[in-house]
Amino acid sequence: MKRPGKMLREVLSHLTKKPATKKYPAEPIKLPDGFRGRLRFYPEKCVGCKLCMKDCPANAITIEKVGDTFEAIVNLDRCIYCAQCVDSCNKKALEMTKQFELAQIDRRALKVKV
């Protein structure tokens, strides 16, 4: 039957229920496995093919040779967290972590060695 106030019962039943609001940041948020957050780099696995650099849609990652090993520098503000570099890497030297709270006041602090 059509009537005004059709949601009344549903609405009143929520008076005693716990709010659905997530209390972030007071309570940490639960992230699913496989979440795409900040990159992690394993220098010992890297062979320096730079495929990740080539495929990165945002030109966020740079691999540099330092001495005998490699170093990955990521611009966290440019990174779009698509994980294409992880897919492109044949040696599994890159990996996504669950870390996502990356805000910084200073922009330069976002250019990090991962």
Partner 1 sequence: MMMQLFYILIFPGFLFLYLMSFILEYEDRIIYARLQNRKGPPLFQPLADFIKLLAKEDIVPECADKKIFKLMPMIALTAVVTSFFYIPIWGVNSLYPFKGDLIVVLYLLTIPTVTFFLAGWSSTSLYSTIGAVRTLTQLFSYEVLLFLSVLSPAMLADSWSLGDMASFYNERPAMMLFNIVAFGMSLVAMLGKLEKVPFDIAEAETEIVGGTFTEYSGRLFAFFRMAINMEMVVGASLIAAVFLPFGLTLDPVYGFMLYIVKVFFVIFFLSVGRTVFARLRIDQMVSVCWKYFAPIAFAQIVLILIVKGVVL
Partner 2 sequence: MGTVKIPIGPQHPALKEPESFLISLDGERIKDVGMRLGYNHRGVEKAAEGRTYIQNIYLIERVCGICSHSHSTAFIQAVEEVAGVEIPKRAKYIRSIVGELERVHSHLLWLGVAGHEVGFDTLLMYSWRDREVVMELLAAIGGNRVNYAMNTFGGARRDLDKDMLERILKAVDVLEDRTKYYINIATKETTLIKRLSGVGYISKDDVIKLGTVGPTGRASGISRDARKDDPYAAYGEVDFNVITDTHCDVYGRAVVRLLELMETYKIIRQLIKNIPDGDIAVRFPRRVPAGEATSRYEAPRGEDVHYVKGNGTDKPERVKLRAPTLANLMSVAKMLEDDNLADVPIAIAAIDPCFSCTDRMIKLEHSSGNSEIVTWGDLRKRSIDFYRTQHGIDFSELNKKYRGNL
Footprint on this chain of partner 2 (rule: CB under 8 A): 1-7, 10-11, 20, 31-36, 54-58, 80-84, 87-88, 96
Could you say which of 2, 23, 30, 108 contacts partner 1 (CB under 8 A)?
23
8 Å CB contact between 52 and 88:
yes
Binding region for partner 1 (CB under 8 A) out of 17-25, 33-41, 76-84, 102-110: 17-25
Distance (Å, whole) CA 92 – CA 75: 20
> If contact means CB under 5 to 8 A according to the sort of partner, which of partner 1, partner 2, none does residue 91 touch?
none
Beta carbon nearer to partner 1, 26 or 105: 26
How many alpha carbons lie under 13 Å from residue 90 in its C-beta half-sphere?
Answer: 5
Report, in Å, the least distance between residue 29 CB and partner 1: 15
Structure-token match 């972030």, residue found: 24
Full strand arrangement of the beta sheet holding 111-113: 61-66, 69-75, 111-113
Q: Rounded to the nearest whole angstrom, what is the least distance from the CB of residue 9 to partner 1 in the complex?
A: 10
